[in-house]
Amino acid sequence: PIKAFNGDVAFSDVCFSYEIGKPILQNINFQVHAGEKIALVGPTGSGKTTIIRLFMRFYDVTSGEIKIDGRNIQDYKVNDLRKRIGIVLQDTFLFSGTIMDNIRYGRLEASNEEVIEAAKMASAHQFIKYLPKGYDTPIQSGGTNLSQGQRQLLAIARAILADSDILILDEATSSIDTRTELEVQQGLNNLMKGRTSFIIAHRLKTIENADKILVIQHGKIIEIGTHEEL
Ligand code: ATP
Protein backbone atom coordinates (compact mmCIF):
# COMPACT_ATOMS: atom_id res chain seq x y z
CA PRO A 1 0.00 0.00 0.00
CA ILE A 2 1.06 3.58 -0.57
CA LYS A 3 2.16 5.53 2.46
CA ALA A 4 -0.58 8.04 3.27
CA PHE A 5 0.77 9.46 6.51
CA ASN A 6 4.22 10.56 7.41
CA GLY A 7 3.22 10.07 11.05
CA ASP A 8 3.54 13.38 12.87
CA VAL A 9 0.84 13.54 15.53
CA ALA A 10 -0.28 16.45 17.70
CA PHE A 11 -2.94 16.67 20.40
CA SER A 12 -3.85 20.28 21.32
CA ASP A 13 -6.02 20.97 24.34
CA VAL A 14 -8.03 17.83 23.78
CA CYS A 15 -10.93 17.45 26.20
CA PHE A 16 -13.45 14.66 26.14
CA SER A 17 -16.41 13.31 28.07
CA TYR A 18 -18.52 10.26 27.32
CA GLU A 19 -21.36 11.81 29.31
CA ILE A 20 -22.11 15.51 29.76
CA GLY A 21 -20.62 16.89 32.95
CA LYS A 22 -18.22 13.96 33.44
CA PRO A 23 -14.87 15.00 31.96
CA ILE A 24 -12.66 12.03 31.14
CA LEU A 25 -9.76 13.72 29.34
CA GLN A 26 -8.71 17.23 30.25
CA ASN A 27 -6.40 19.43 28.16
CA ILE A 28 -4.29 16.72 26.63
CA ASN A 29 -1.31 18.28 24.85
CA PHE A 30 1.57 16.47 23.23
CA GLN A 31 3.46 16.22 19.97
CA VAL A 32 5.00 13.22 18.33
CA HIS A 33 7.47 13.21 15.45
CA ALA A 34 7.11 10.70 12.66
CA GLY A 35 8.64 7.36 13.64
CA GLU A 36 8.67 7.90 17.40
CA LYS A 37 7.58 5.30 19.93
CA ILE A 38 5.23 6.67 22.56
CA ALA A 39 4.47 4.70 25.70
CA LEU A 40 1.15 5.49 27.37
CA VAL A 41 1.28 4.60 31.02
CA GLY A 42 -1.14 5.16 33.85
CA PRO A 43 -3.44 3.34 36.23
CA THR A 44 -6.59 1.58 35.13
CA GLY A 45 -9.32 4.02 34.20
CA SER A 46 -6.89 6.91 33.66
CA GLY A 47 -7.87 7.42 30.01
CA LYS A 48 -5.29 5.58 27.87
CA THR A 49 -7.85 3.67 25.82
CA THR A 50 -9.96 6.78 25.43
CA ILE A 51 -7.01 8.62 23.85
CA ILE A 52 -6.69 5.79 21.32
CA ARG A 53 -10.45 5.78 20.64
CA LEU A 54 -10.36 9.50 19.85
CA PHE A 55 -7.35 9.01 17.61
CA MET A 56 -9.21 6.30 15.65
CA ARG A 57 -12.34 8.46 15.64
CA PHE A 58 -14.53 5.97 17.46
CA TYR A 59 -15.53 9.13 19.32
CA ASP A 60 -14.91 12.77 18.48
CA VAL A 61 -13.23 15.22 20.82
CA THR A 62 -15.46 17.45 22.92
CA SER A 63 -13.01 20.31 22.34
CA GLY A 64 -9.48 20.80 21.09
CA GLU A 65 -7.92 19.08 18.10
CA ILE A 66 -5.95 16.08 17.02
CA LYS A 67 -3.75 16.42 13.95
CA ILE A 68 -1.91 13.96 11.79
CA ASP A 69 0.76 15.51 9.57
CA GLY A 70 -0.58 18.96 10.47
CA ARG A 71 -4.14 18.24 9.39
CA ASN A 72 -7.13 17.79 11.70
CA ILE A 73 -8.17 14.12 11.75
CA GLN A 74 -11.77 15.19 11.18
CA ASP A 75 -10.69 16.37 7.72
CA TYR A 76 -9.66 12.85 6.66
CA LYS A 77 -12.19 10.24 5.63
CA VAL A 78 -12.68 7.93 8.59
CA ASN A 79 -11.99 4.87 6.48
CA ASP A 80 -8.79 6.31 5.03
CA LEU A 81 -7.67 7.17 8.53
CA ARG A 82 -8.40 3.73 9.97
CA LYS A 83 -6.88 1.96 6.98
CA ARG A 84 -3.52 3.59 7.65
CA ILE A 85 -3.51 2.90 11.39
CA GLY A 86 -2.66 -0.65 12.44
CA ILE A 87 -3.74 -2.11 15.75
CA VAL A 88 -2.20 -5.03 17.58
CA LEU A 89 -4.30 -5.91 20.58
CA GLN A 90 -3.49 -8.17 23.52
CA ASP A 91 -5.71 -10.81 22.11
CA THR A 92 -5.87 -10.77 18.39
CA PHE A 93 -8.82 -11.80 16.34
CA LEU A 94 -8.01 -15.09 14.59
CA PHE A 95 -10.63 -16.79 12.47
CA SER A 96 -10.98 -20.39 11.41
CA GLY A 97 -8.79 -20.76 8.34
CA THR A 98 -5.13 -21.53 7.77
CA ILE A 99 -2.21 -19.64 9.25
CA MET A 100 -1.59 -18.27 5.76
CA ASP A 101 -5.17 -16.91 5.57
CA ASN A 102 -4.92 -15.40 9.01
CA ILE A 103 -1.74 -13.48 8.27
CA ARG A 104 -3.05 -12.39 4.89
CA TYR A 105 -6.26 -11.02 6.45
CA GLY A 106 -7.06 -7.58 5.05
CA ARG A 107 -4.49 -7.82 2.24
CA LEU A 108 -6.08 -10.43 0.04
CA GLU A 109 -3.86 -9.55 -2.89
CA ALA A 110 -0.65 -10.46 -1.02
CA SER A 111 1.24 -13.43 -2.48
CA ASN A 112 2.32 -16.44 -0.42
CA GLU A 113 5.90 -15.15 -0.64
CA GLU A 114 4.86 -11.80 0.82
CA VAL A 115 3.03 -13.54 3.67
CA ILE A 116 6.10 -15.66 4.46
CA GLU A 117 8.36 -12.60 4.26
CA ALA A 118 6.12 -10.82 6.79
CA ALA A 119 6.16 -13.89 9.05
CA LYS A 120 9.96 -13.91 8.95
CA MET A 121 10.12 -10.23 9.89
CA ALA A 122 7.69 -10.97 12.72
CA SER A 123 9.83 -13.86 14.05
CA ALA A 124 6.82 -16.09 13.46
CA HIS A 125 8.36 -18.18 10.69
CA GLN A 126 10.31 -20.40 13.11
CA PHE A 127 7.32 -21.80 14.93
CA ILE A 128 5.17 -22.05 11.79
CA LYS A 129 7.85 -23.98 9.95
CA TYR A 130 7.88 -26.66 12.66
CA LEU A 131 4.14 -27.29 12.55
CA PRO A 132 3.39 -30.48 10.56
CA LYS A 133 1.35 -28.52 8.01
CA GLY A 134 3.34 -25.28 8.21
CA TYR A 135 1.49 -22.32 6.75
CA ASP A 136 -1.44 -24.59 5.85
CA THR A 137 -2.10 -25.44 9.48
CA PRO A 138 -5.77 -24.83 10.25
CA ILE A 139 -6.50 -22.45 13.08
CA GLN A 140 -9.52 -22.91 15.27
CA SER A 141 -11.72 -19.88 15.67
CA GLY A 142 -10.12 -17.68 18.33
CA GLY A 143 -6.79 -19.41 17.79
CA THR A 144 -7.40 -21.80 20.68
CA ASN A 145 -4.99 -24.39 19.23
CA LEU A 146 -2.10 -21.91 19.53
CA SER A 147 -0.34 -20.49 22.55
CA GLN A 148 -0.85 -16.86 23.46
CA GLY A 149 2.69 -16.07 22.33
CA GLN A 150 2.10 -17.73 18.96
CA ARG A 151 -1.11 -15.77 18.51
CA GLN A 152 0.82 -12.59 19.15
CA LEU A 153 3.44 -13.53 16.59
CA LEU A 154 0.69 -14.02 13.99
CA ALA A 155 -0.79 -10.65 14.91
CA ILE A 156 2.61 -9.04 14.38
CA ALA A 157 3.05 -10.79 11.03
CA ARG A 158 -0.39 -9.58 9.98
CA ALA A 159 0.45 -6.02 10.99
CA ILE A 160 3.78 -6.12 9.13
CA LEU A 161 1.99 -7.30 6.00
CA ALA A 162 -0.69 -4.61 6.41
CA ASP A 163 2.14 -2.05 6.42
CA SER A 164 0.23 0.71 8.23
CA ASP A 165 1.79 4.13 8.69
CA ILE A 166 0.90 4.45 12.37
CA LEU A 167 0.61 1.68 14.95
CA ILE A 168 -1.29 1.14 18.14
CA LEU A 169 -0.11 -1.67 20.35
CA ASP A 170 -1.79 -2.91 23.45
CA GLU A 171 0.99 -4.76 25.14
CA ALA A 172 0.12 -8.13 26.60
CA THR A 173 0.01 -8.35 30.35
CA SER A 174 -0.01 -12.12 30.62
CA SER A 175 3.31 -13.85 30.82
CA ILE A 176 4.60 -15.96 27.98
CA ASP A 177 7.69 -18.16 28.01
CA THR A 178 11.03 -16.41 27.72
CA ARG A 179 11.92 -17.66 24.27
CA THR A 180 8.61 -16.63 22.71
CA GLU A 181 8.86 -13.38 24.60
CA LEU A 182 12.18 -12.66 22.89
CA GLU A 183 10.66 -13.48 19.51
CA VAL A 184 7.70 -11.23 20.21
CA GLN A 185 10.06 -8.39 21.17
CA GLN A 186 12.13 -8.90 18.04
CA GLY A 187 9.00 -9.00 15.89
CA LEU A 188 7.59 -5.88 17.51
CA ASN A 189 10.86 -4.02 17.00
CA ASN A 190 10.74 -4.86 13.30
CA LEU A 191 7.10 -3.84 13.13
CA MET A 192 7.63 -0.48 14.85
CA LYS A 193 10.76 0.48 12.94
CA GLY A 194 10.13 3.76 11.11
CA ARG A 195 6.46 3.96 12.13
CA THR A 196 4.92 6.23 14.72
CA SER A 197 3.79 3.79 17.42
CA PHE A 198 1.56 4.26 20.44
CA ILE A 199 2.01 1.53 22.98
CA ILE A 200 -0.23 0.97 25.96
CA ALA A 201 2.71 -0.27 27.90
CA HIS A 202 2.87 -2.74 30.76
CA ARG A 203 6.53 -3.74 30.68
CA LEU A 204 9.40 -1.71 32.05
CA LYS A 205 11.58 -2.63 29.07
CA THR A 206 9.06 -1.14 26.63
CA ILE A 207 8.88 2.02 28.69
CA GLU A 208 12.67 2.29 28.82
CA ASN A 209 12.91 1.98 25.04
CA ALA A 210 10.19 4.53 24.24
CA ASP A 211 11.14 7.88 22.71
CA LYS A 212 8.48 9.54 24.86
CA ILE A 213 6.50 8.40 27.85
CA LEU A 214 3.14 9.97 28.58
CA VAL A 215 2.11 9.43 32.17
CA ILE A 216 -1.64 9.76 32.47
CA GLN A 217 -3.64 10.07 35.64
CA HIS A 218 -7.31 10.95 36.03
CA GLY A 219 -7.51 12.05 32.38
CA LYS A 220 -4.53 14.40 32.51
CA ILE A 221 -0.94 14.09 31.40
CA ILE A 222 1.03 14.48 34.58
CA GLU A 223 4.46 13.88 33.04
CA ILE A 224 6.03 13.67 29.59
CA GLY A 225 9.58 12.67 28.86
CA THR A 226 12.06 9.90 28.26
CA HIS A 227 12.80 7.25 30.86
CA GLU A 228 15.97 9.13 31.85
CA GLU A 229 14.11 12.42 32.21
CA LEU A 230 11.32 11.07 34.41
P1 ATP B 1 -7.31 0.40 31.51
O2 ATP B 1 -5.84 0.45 31.80
O3 ATP B 1 -8.08 -0.29 32.57
O4 ATP B 1 -7.64 -0.11 30.13
P5 ATP B 1 -7.63 3.17 30.63
O6 ATP B 1 -6.55 4.04 31.14
O7 ATP B 1 -7.51 2.70 29.23
O8 ATP B 1 -7.85 1.93 31.61
P9 ATP B 1 -10.19 4.23 29.79
O10 ATP B 1 -10.71 2.94 29.30
O11 ATP B 1 -9.77 5.23 28.77
O12 ATP B 1 -8.98 3.98 30.81
O13 ATP B 1 -11.28 4.86 30.74
C14 ATP B 1 -11.20 6.19 31.25
C15 ATP B 1 -12.48 6.51 32.00
O16 ATP B 1 -13.57 6.57 31.07
C17 ATP B 1 -12.88 5.50 33.06
O18 ATP B 1 -13.37 6.22 34.16
C19 ATP B 1 -14.00 4.70 32.41
O20 ATP B 1 -14.91 4.26 33.36
C21 ATP B 1 -14.63 5.73 31.49
N22 ATP B 1 -15.22 5.12 30.27
C23 ATP B 1 -14.57 4.32 29.39
N24 ATP B 1 -15.38 3.96 28.36
C25 ATP B 1 -16.58 4.55 28.61
C26 ATP B 1 -17.83 4.57 27.91
N27 ATP B 1 -17.98 3.91 26.74
N28 ATP B 1 -18.85 5.27 28.47
C29 ATP B 1 -18.68 5.94 29.63
N30 ATP B 1 -17.53 5.95 30.33
C31 ATP B 1 -16.48 5.27 29.84
Maximum distance among all alpha carbons in the chain? 58
Domains contained in the chain, number:
2
Measured in angstroms, how far is the CA atom of residue 135 from the centroid of ligand 1?
38
- Alpha carbon distance 30, 120 (integer Å): 35
Residue finishing a domain among 107, 139, 163:
163
Ligand 1 neighbours, Cβ below 6 Å, are 18, 24, 42, 44-50
Name the residue at shortest CA distance from atom 1 of ligand 1. Answer: 44
3-state SS, residue 90 = coil
pTM of the entire structure? Answer: 0.91
> What's the rounded Cα separation, in Å, for the pair 122 and 124?
5
For residues 196 and 167, give the distance between their C-alpha atoms in angstroms, rounded to a whole number: 6
Distance 48 CA to ligand 1 centre (A): 8
Q: Is the domain of 73 the same as that of 122? A: no
How many Å apart are CA 78 and CA 74, to the nearest integer? 8
* Spatial separation of the C-alpha atoms in residues 217 and 201, rounded to whole Å: 14
In the reported structure, the alpha carbon of residue 8 is separated from the centroid of ligand 1 by a whole-number distance in angstroms of 26
Tens-digit pLDDT string for the chain (230 aa): 557 899 999 999 999 999 998 999 999 999 999 999 999 999 999 999 999 999 999 999 999 999 999 999 999 999 999 989 999 887 778 899 999 999 999 899 999 999 999 999 999 999 999 999 999 999 988 888 898 889 999 999 999 999 999 999 988 776 677 888 889 889 999 999 999 999 998 888 888 899 999 999 999 999 999 888 88
User: Is residue 35 in a domain?
Assistant: yes
69: domain CATH number is 3.40.50.300
Nearest CA to ligand 1 atom 18: 45
Counting Cβ atoms within 10 Å, is residue 57 exposed (0-12), middle (13-18) or buried (19+)?
middle
For residue 204, how many other CB atoms are within 10 A of its CB? 9
**DSSP E strands, 34-75:** 37-41, 63-68, 71-72
- If one residue of 17, 46, 52, 61 were mutated to test the ligand 1 pocket, choosing by the most ligand atoms within 8 A of its CB, it would be 46
Q: Residue 77's domain spans which residues?
A: 1-84+164-172+195-230
Can you tell me the distance from the alpha carbon of 104 to that of 217, in angstroms, rounded to the nearest whole number?
A: 38
